[in-house]
Amino acid sequence: MANTIFEILSGQYYDETKLGAVAESEHTAHSIVSHLSRLLNARQGVLRHLPDYGLPDITEVYQGLPYSLDGLLEDITRLILKYEPRLLNVEVVPVSVNDVDAILRLEIRGSTEDGKIMKFETFFLSGGYAKVNSQS
């Protein structure tokens, strides 16, 4: 399935791009970016029925850098493996940390069931907001 049921019902992705504005061959990648954006911007405990959906408070991660980075990478990997089943063989690696702008940059790598390699550039900005872009 290329798009999630939520995207089909709403007719758009997380970034408000309409489904019809994206080439059909790119639906899966765009849908995964959309879901990763939702997942990484959610905070644990917000969804009562899925208490582990989302990340812990990112401000605490920033305060603990560089020592908290490994825990964040493990949390993100665990979340993706549990809540984004279209992405397999997941690796999350740090690319850089910009102390001046308080930006943490990660690369999420994985593959789809049909063997397509996917890479996602992810930025955590100072307010805790995560921005995910496809590099595939």
Portion of the chain with pLDDT greater than 90, in percent:
54
Identity of the residue numbered 19: L
**Global pTM value:** 0.87
Query: How many domains does one find in the chain?
Result: 1
DSSP per residue over the chain, as a string? --S-HHHHHHTB-TT--BGGGS-GGGHHHHHHHHHHHHHHHSBTTSSTT-TTSSB--HHHHHHHTTTTHHHHHHHHHHHHHHH-TT-EEEEEEEEEEETTTTEEEEEEEEE-TT--EEEEEEEE-TTS-EEEEE--
**pLDDT score at 127:** 77
pLDDT at 71 over 80: yes
* Cα 113–chain centre separation: 18
Amino acid identity, position 5: I
Domain CATH for 59: 3.10.450.40
Neighbours of 51 (CB within 10 A): 10
Confidence of residue 6 (pLDDT cuts 50, 70, 90): confident
Domain extent at residue 45: 5-134
Inter-CA distances, 28 with 25, 81, 120, 123, 125, Å: 7, 16, 13, 21, 25
Q: What is the pLDDT of residue 108?
A: 98
Give the β-pairing of 103-111 and 130-134: unpaired
pLDDT of residue 24: 86
Are the C-beta atoms of residues 53 and 40 closer than 8 Å to each other? Answer: no
